Amino acid sequence: MCCGLVATDSGKTSVARVLAETHGWQTYHYDRYDRVEPPGHVSRADPVRHPHMHAFRVKNLEDRWVNTTPDEMLADWLGSTHERFQFVLDDLLALPPTPLTVAEGYGLLPELVAPLHSSAHQAIWLVSDEAFKRESYARRTVRGEKGVWKLQLSDLDRARENHIGRDLLIAAHVKRSANALGLTVMEIDGARSVEEVIAESEAHFAPYVQVAAEPMRSP
């Protein structure tokens, strides 16, 4: 199984969907499991084994989004993301057998994924700059896909800036981690078209396209 990984509000889901549809790959969408509501990962957190996830689950919305800072949010997020990675591995192992699965999601950090891969061509991280991030955030908020606007909060402006600020810090962390591990990062700043981003991502995974096209053989 090969996992193609993309991260943090930069067109990751769109790229994964097109690649999966084009090549018949199976997909794993991290966001569908990254939830407090059952059967999401957070709902299954054990207070002792997963203290960061448990703390997030019991924290009220004001403290999650308003009474905090992007740096504090990043620290909490990194802690919980490391804790939930075993849940991600369990999810992937439970998927039907297939030559290739493309997994996408902002919680698939380079330092967590790298030990599982034998080639740098098994992963790519798409990271948006601040201008693209803000544009994408606003566009997805209007469509009802993203944002804290629908929450009942005392200060929506502060919550939005905290959310965007945290995500920019996540992007910076992903870049540092991937670069340190010699992994591929594609910076998304709007200069490339969606089609160009998809083509570059597909080229990165080229060694595995033929493997995925071959029928699975019985042992």
Residue 2, domain member (yes or no): no
Q: CB of 168 within 8 A of CB of 130?
A: yes
Q: Is the pLDDT of residue 96 over 80?
A: yes
Taking the alpha carbons at both ends of the chain, their separation in whole angstroms is 15
Nearest to 158 by CA among 56, 217, 29, 70: 70
Instruction: Check residue 157 and give its pLDDT.
Output: 92
Most confident of 10-14, 29-33, 148-152, 158-162: 158-162
pLDDT of residue 100: 86
Residue 1 lies in a domain: no
pLDDT at 186: 92
Mean pLDDT of all residues belonging to the chain: 86
Looking at residue 69, the DSSP 8-state letter turns out to be: -
pLDDT at 122 over 60: yes
Residue 7 falls inside a structural domain: no
6, part of any domain: no
Tell me the whole-structure pTM to 2 decimals: 0.88
Q: Whole-angstrom Cα distance, residue 123 to residue 184?
A: 7
Mean predicted confidence (pLDDT) in 121-139: 90
Instruction: Provide the pLDDT for residue 219.
Output: 37
**For residue 154, what pLDDT is reported?**
95
Q: Quick: pLDDT tens for 163-189.
A: 999 999 999 999 999 999 999 999 999
15 has a pLDDT exceeding 70 = yes
Any domain includes 218: no
**Is 209 contained in some domain?**
yes
Count of domains forming the chain = 1
- The residue-averaged pLDDT of 99-107 equals 87
Q: Could you count the other beta carbons within 10 Å of the beta carbon of residue 120?
A: 14
Q: Which residues pair with 104 in a beta bridge?
A: 29
Burial class (CB in 10 A: 0-12, 13-18, 19+), 54: middle
Percent share of the chain, pLDDT over 70: 89
Residues 48-82 have pLDDT tens digits of: 999 999 999 999 999 999 999 999 999 999 999 99
**Amino acid found at 121:** H
- Yes or no: say if 136 and 64 are a contact pair by the CB < 8 Å rule: no
For 144, the domain range is 12-213
Evaluate if residue 35 carries a pLDDT over 90: no
CATH of the domain at 125: 3.40.50
Decide if 126 is inside a domain.
yes
Residue that wins the pLDDT comparison between 18 and 73: 73
**Higher local confidence (pLDDT), 40 or 76:** 76
Q: Cis (ω within 30 of 0) for the bond into 70?
A: no
Any domain includes 125: yes
Is 72 within 8 Å of 162 (Cβ atoms)?
no
Q: Which two tokens stand for residue 163?
A: 């959310």
The confidence band for 5, taking pLDDT boundaries of 50, 70 and 90, is low
Quick one: average pLDDT of 127-132? 91
